[in-house]
């Protein structure tokens, strides 16, 4: 590891690896893997696993494989596989050699299954699913042997080969490992390792009609690839005895070590692919990459920097104890990156027209504004000042106390990077709605304060004629409860205000030249990103990434 990495406190996984290296285990090599199933988009929980597996490999000058666990063809697609690979690369990691697939090993997996049968350690069972559940027992009662458990090796070999030859209907028979029906670990009570499933596979087509189960496939795939440390989340802890049992009972030299760590649970978020798929399938969100989704694609579209996600994952730590992480920590990590790197600009979400009565009608004045107030190296930009401008409706009141630091009838305020103006008159429609303000400006206040009075407030603005129409999308948490996964139906606690669109917003003209995924701080509003899907220079669309302040802390109180 580097000197910087050596200076950080080690987590328990690093301690294990350091001990292995000191003992000469695995010849000092470290080989990890990230093995997602291509049945959905990756989410924030996967980001932790990605950062850990690839990060550990980098720290120890090892390698990390990307392997698709593609053993359930009914739910898998090339769309998901492509999105997963893109997410891993976007987060800043590169896998070793080509992408691996569990389907690469289907023939070897079948051969190992036959080996278990020949050793009397696996048998074909024709119990129905309900009967199998009944025979399995409970947490307090031992299971009982299936009537098929004592079939001869020859009969099991014959039946298993006929399963492969598609002689039986789906669900008619399964292959089970013969372990211990009285084991206190239910995972060891003769688990199913192969089932019949006639479904077109995205890589092998219709070549196979039997598919291996995850617990059988995963450990063997690890061993074939020479994985040294198989890092997975805590829910697989009781799978580890089966992982070791399979490896110990087949003819393979490699024996990876499974190590479990706590998963990343984020408040007001779900990280179940099944429940995320419900949101997509029921059109509650606008796809897997909807910026409200906790998917990596959704967070990217919302403008979360990959650097911030990596920093957030590091802050959550690597432990054996499950806990829920506050949303404020994620937003802190995002602000830390964007505050330094995002150029400033002005955007008005709810335009209110101001006519500056003492400014020339046809004049367009070009003013200079810093792109970043603390970083001169980011340069300046040109903004246009005209007789008619827009401010935000929330920045004006007809009457207000002295604590209100924005524009009030009869009082002054400074326009950001421009002049001081005073509001003289309010124009309303027939319904008493304010539709326009008449103001005048002090031409001697560009870049300096008035000499004879103090102006307290500063507000943002854009030129009416020189600005661009844009759509700005502001996001709130997707769910109204802290732990939506605990609800019987998480779709019933979706926040109806999780997305608010401002379709009449106005932005600085310079933003028409930006590119999709460019990020900005819209002054006094928050951090925004040019939508990577819908942004065009003709029709700018910006998504709010995060506010300027921690609203989550207020919610928690």
DSSP state of 318: -
Give residues with Cβ within 8 angstroms of 261, minimum separation 6: 12, 13, 52, 231, 232, 233, 234, 318, 319, 320
Beta-ladder partners of 415 = 459
C-alpha to C-alpha distance for 468 and 495, rounded to whole angstroms? 31
- To the query of whether residue 155 is one of the catalytic residues in this protein, the response is no
Residue whose tokens read 């997975």: 232
Active-site annotation holder among 75, 263, 416, 509: 263
Distance (Å, whole) CA 256 – CA 104: 19
**Cβ partners under 8 Å of residue 395, min gap 6:** 352, 406, 407, 413, 459, 460
Quote the DSSP letter at residue 285. S
- How far apart CA 204 and CA 108 sit, in angstroms, is 14
DSSP string, 63-101: EEEEEE----GGG--HHHHHHHHHHHHHTT---SSSPEE
Per-residue buried b or exposed e for 167-197, using 16+ beta carbons within 10 Å of the residue's own CB: ebeeeebbbbbbbebebeeebbbbbbbbbbb
Residues in the chain: 557
Helix (H, G, I), strand (E, B) or coil at 500: strand
Place of tokens 């087949």: 250
C-alpha 514 chain-centroid distance: 25
What are the Cα distances from residue 338, in Å, to 75, 460, 545?
A: 37, 20, 10
Smallest CA-to-CA distance from 300 within 36, 31, 530 is with 530
Q: What are phi and psi of 296, to 5 degrees?
A: -60, -40
Cβ-count burial 239-271 (b if 16+ within 10 Å, e if not):
bbebbebbbebbebeeebbbbbbbbbbbbbbbb
Report whether 117 contacts 156 (CB < 8 A).
Answer: yes
Alpha carbons 274 and 206: distance in angstroms, whole number: 26
Strand (E) or helix (H) holding 436: strand 434-442
* Packing angle of the helix pair 44-59, 78-90 (nearest 10 deg): 60
Residue corresponding to tokens 């649970």: 265
Active site residue 310: no
Beta bridge partners of 246: none
Are the CB atoms for 457 and 247 separated by under 8 Å?
A: no
**Catalytic residue chosen out of the listed positions 67, 273, 381, 506:** 273
CA dist 542 → 310, 352, 474, 536 (Å)? 24, 20, 9, 10
- Residue 137 CA to residue 130 CA, distance in Å, equals 12
Residue 117 DSSP symbol: H
**Alpha carbon separation from 268 to 302, 332, 334, 382 (Å, rounded):** 17, 16, 17, 41
- Which residue among 33, 37, 331, 387 is the active-site one? 37
Opening angle at CA 430, ends 425 and 435, nearest 5: 45
Active site residue 29: no
What positions carry a catalytic annotation?
37, 263, 273
């Amino acid at each position: 590891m580097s000197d910087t990495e050596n200076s950080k406190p080690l987590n328990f996984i690093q301690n294990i690896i350091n001990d292995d290296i000191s003992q000469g285990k695995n010849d000092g090599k470290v080989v990890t893997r990230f093995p997602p199933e291509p049945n959905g988009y990756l989410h924030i929980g996967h980001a932790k696993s990605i950062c850990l597996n690839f990060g550990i490999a980098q720290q120890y000058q090892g390698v990390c494989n990307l392997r698709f666990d593609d053993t359930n063809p009914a739910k898998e697609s090339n769309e998901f596989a492509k999105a997963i690979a893109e997410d891993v690369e976007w987060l800043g990691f590169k896998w070793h050699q080509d992408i691996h697939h569990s389907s690469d090993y289907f023939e070897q997996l079948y051969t190992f299954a036959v080996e278990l049968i020949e050793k009397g350690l696996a048998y074909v069972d024709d119990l129905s699913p309900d009967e199998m559940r009944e025979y399995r027992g409970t947490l307090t009662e031992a299971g009982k042997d299936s009537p098929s458990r004592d079939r001869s090796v020859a009969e099991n070999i014959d039946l298993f080969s006929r399963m492969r030859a598609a002689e039986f209907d789906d669900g008619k028979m399964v292959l089970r490992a013969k372990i211990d029906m009285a084991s206190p670990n239910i995972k060891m009570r003769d688990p199913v390792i192969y089932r019949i499933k006639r479904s077109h596979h995205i890589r092998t087509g219709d070549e196979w009609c039997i598919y291996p189960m995850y617990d059988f496939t995963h450990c063997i795939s690890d061993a074939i690839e020479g994985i040294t440390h198989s890092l997975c989340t805590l829910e697989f802890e009781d799978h580890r005895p089966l992982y070791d049992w399979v490896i110990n009972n087949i003819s393979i030299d490699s024996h990876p070590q499974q190590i479990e760590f706590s998963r990343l649970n984020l408040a007001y978020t779900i990280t179940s692919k099944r429940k995320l798929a419900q949101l997509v399938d029921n059109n509650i969100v606008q796809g897997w990459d909807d910026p409200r989704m906790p998917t990596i694609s959704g967070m990217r579209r919302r403008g979360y920097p990959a650097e911030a996600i990596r920093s957030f994952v590091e802050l959550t730590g690597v432990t054996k104890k499950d806990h829920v992480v506050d949303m404020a920590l994620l937003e802190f990590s995002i602000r830390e990156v964007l505050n330094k790197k995002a150029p400033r600009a002005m955007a008005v979400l709810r335009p209110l027209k101001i006519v500056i009565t003492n400014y020339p009608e046809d004049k367009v004045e070009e003013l200079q504004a810093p792109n970043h107030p603390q970083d001169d190296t980011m340069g300046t930009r040109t903004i246009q000042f005209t007789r008619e401008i827009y401010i935000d409706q929330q920045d004006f009141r007809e009457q207000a106390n002295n604590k209100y630091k924005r524009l009030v009838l009869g009082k002054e305020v400074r326009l950001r990077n421009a002049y001081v103006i005073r509001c003289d008159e309010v124009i309303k429609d027939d319904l008493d709605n304010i539709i326009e303000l008449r103001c005048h400006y002090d031409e001697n206040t560009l870049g300096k304060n008035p000499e004879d009075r103090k102006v307290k407030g500063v507000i943002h603005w854009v030129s009416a004629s020189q600005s661009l129409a844009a759509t700005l999308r502001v996001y709130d948490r997707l769910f109204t409860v802290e732990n939506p996964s605990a609800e019987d139906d998480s779709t019933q606690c979706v926040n109806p205000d999780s997305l608010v669109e401002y379709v009449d917003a106005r932005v600085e003209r310079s933003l028409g030249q930006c590119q999709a995924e460019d990020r900005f701080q819209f002054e006094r509003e928050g951090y925004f990103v040019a939508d990577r899907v819908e942004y065009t220079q003709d029709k700018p669309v910006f998504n709010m990434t995060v506010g300027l302040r921690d609203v989550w802390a207020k919610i928690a109180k």
